[in-house]
Structure 1
Amino acid sequence: TRPASEAEVGMGGQDSETLPFTLADMRAAANQMCKDHYPLGAVEVFAQGGEYHIVCASGVAKPAAFWTGNFTARYRVFQSQAGVVIDGKMGGVSHFYEKGNVSAELDQPIASEIDLEGSTADKVFERINLMEVDYFSRVEECLETLQQGPYKKVRRYLPVSGHKLEWNQYSLGGMRINE
């Protein structure tokens, strides 16, 4: 699928009239961040009403480990009286499907501010990166807690033989179960 055009999402491609960096600067910094941190992801920056809107998405699938996960983030960058405000929401879904289905969805609202003087698109994305690193470290702590507690208890109710069931060995009334 192709990304929606700016006209389709209703956001213009004009530079912010209030922020000291251009849409092109924001897109270049966003693309660099995506390349560095989300090689399988996509990012786009839109301008509307003196603000920049950033959308980032990435996913990973590891079938051998019975796991999939995705990350999405939406940020808004605008000028306040004191500086440049970055707010929005980031979140992810992690799905484990070995011997059952367990998924976790974690969303986090975020807000931060950087000094207006000397602010650049690169500094905006440096701050976004710091917020994402903090988010991911908290997600890892949360998943570790879940793995040692609730996930471990759920797995106790699932088959614990450690052997795959060979369906070809069993029959009901002369019919093979897998037929």
Structure 2
Amino acid sequence: MSSDDRIAKAASFLLHSPPGEVDDVFNDIRGIVNDDDALQAQIEPQFLVVEVPGQQSTVLLTPYNQVSESRYLDPNTGTVFTFDHLRPAGALQTHLDQYVANHYTNGSVSVFAHEGAVVSCIVSNKFSPGNFWNGSWRAVWSFNPAMAQLNGSAKVRVHYFEDGNVQLDTQSDFAGDIEAGRDVAKKVAKMIGQFEADFQQGINDGYRQLAERTFKGLRRTLPVTRNKIDWEKIANYKIGGELAHAEN
């Protein structure tokens, strides 16, 4: 079978995929075609309801408002916009780019279409070996459009090694339902931000508990005599004893 035949067959599969299962079919066949651009050219509008970029409006993608290969007209606002049938994760990428820029010093995020879900990976590393510490934050979030559910996990690892060896290695899992309707990508990004904020707050609370309870339990506040030790006086005694010993 020629390359053109494979593309035509793949496009046919996509156009006849069951409702809500286009992403699943696409992920199954894209490896066979191995040419997203050629496959994009074969896909015709499927009466999808999409949000118009920069407008408070939705529009149907049909053969009747298709301006060019991937550009469509919204007659309500007069807007011509580009829509990529093969990359529905683009809106979420835009929202998460802004979120990471606002909340991470050294952060990166990538969004992928994978097995019928939109998967977002967030990584932030900060290495400072000169100050005896290194740390990383890694999170993976998976949004299933068919189930309108977000699942994810976030993990933090920190190593502090000045005059010792202390490590933090903690992870938390999350799940939540996304309200259907408009601005779904924005809602997903917002929920990711809320989950990650809760995770960070939990870590902060844990550190406070260590300082206020656990570490204090490792030693007495006062010695057995119940009196504070005057370290300066002890130092003077020691210096005086050494001087007396030297004179003898």
TM-score (norm 2): 0.49
Question: How far apart, in 2, do the equivalents of 1:143 and 1:56 lie?
Answer: 24
User: Per-residue displacement from partner, 1:27-58 (whole Å, max 9, x unpaired)?
Assistant: 11121111111231111000023210111100
| Counterpart code for 1:121 | A
Asked if the contact 1:31–1:43 (Cα under 8 Å) also holds between the matched residues in 2, the reply is yes
Question: How far apart, in 2, do the equivalents of 1:100 and 1:153 lie?
Answer: 20
Asked if the contact 2:178–2:184 (Cα under 8 Å) also holds between the matched residues in 1, the reply is no
The Cα of 1:148 is off from its aligned counterpart by 4.4
Matched, 1:73 2:139: yes
Gaps of 5+ in 2: 1-30, 40-45, 52-87, 220-248
Q: CA RMSD in A?
A: 3.4
Pick closer, same or farther for the CA change 1:126–1:24 going to 2, 3 Å: same
Asked if the contact 1:20–1:120 (Cα under 8 Å) also holds between the matched residues in 2, the reply is no
Pick closer, same or farther for the CA change 1:86–1:20 going to 2, 3 Å: farther
Question: How far apart, in 1, do the equivalents of 2:145 and 2:49 lie?
Answer: 6
| Counterpart code for 1:114 | I
Question: How far apart, in 2, do the equivalents of 1:154 and 1:97 lie?
Answer: 20
In structure 1, the residue matched to 2:177 is 113
Asked if the contact 1:72–1:92 (Cα under 8 Å) also holds between the matched residues in 2, the reply is yes
The Cα of 1:64 is off from its aligned counterpart by 6.7
Higher strand share: 1
Pick closer, same or farther for the CA change 1:74–1:20 going to 2, 3 Å: farther
Question: How far apart, in 2, do the equivalents of 1:35 and 1:58 lie?
Answer: 11
Asked if the contact 1:78–1:85 (Cα under 8 Å) also holds between the matched residues in 2, the reply is yes
Larger radius of gyration: 2
Question: How far apart, in 1, do the equivalents of 2:111 and 2:204 lie?
Answer: 28
| Counterpart code for 1:116 | A
| Counterpart code for 2:105 | P
The Cα of 1:65 is off from its aligned counterpart by 5.4
Question: Among the aligned pairs, what percent are the same residue?
Answer: 23
Asked if the contact 1:87–1:111 (Cα under 8 Å) also holds between the matched residues in 2, the reply is yes
Question: How far apart, in 1, do the equivalents of 2:205 and 2:160 lie?
Answer: 17
The Cα of 1:117 is off from its aligned counterpart by 2.0
Asked if the contact 1:19–1:79 (Cα under 8 Å) also holds between the matched residues in 2, the reply is no
Higher helix share: 2
SS at match of 2:178: strand
Question: How far apart, in 1, do the equivalents of 2:108 and 2:216 lie?
Answer: 34
Matches within 5 A, 1:36-75: 36-62=102-128, 66-75=132-141
| Counterpart code for 2:205 | E
User: Per-residue displacement from partner, 1:68-120 (whole Å, max 9, x unpaired)?
Assistant: 32110001001355xx2110110101222221011010100111112112342
In structure 2, the residue matched to 1:102 is 166
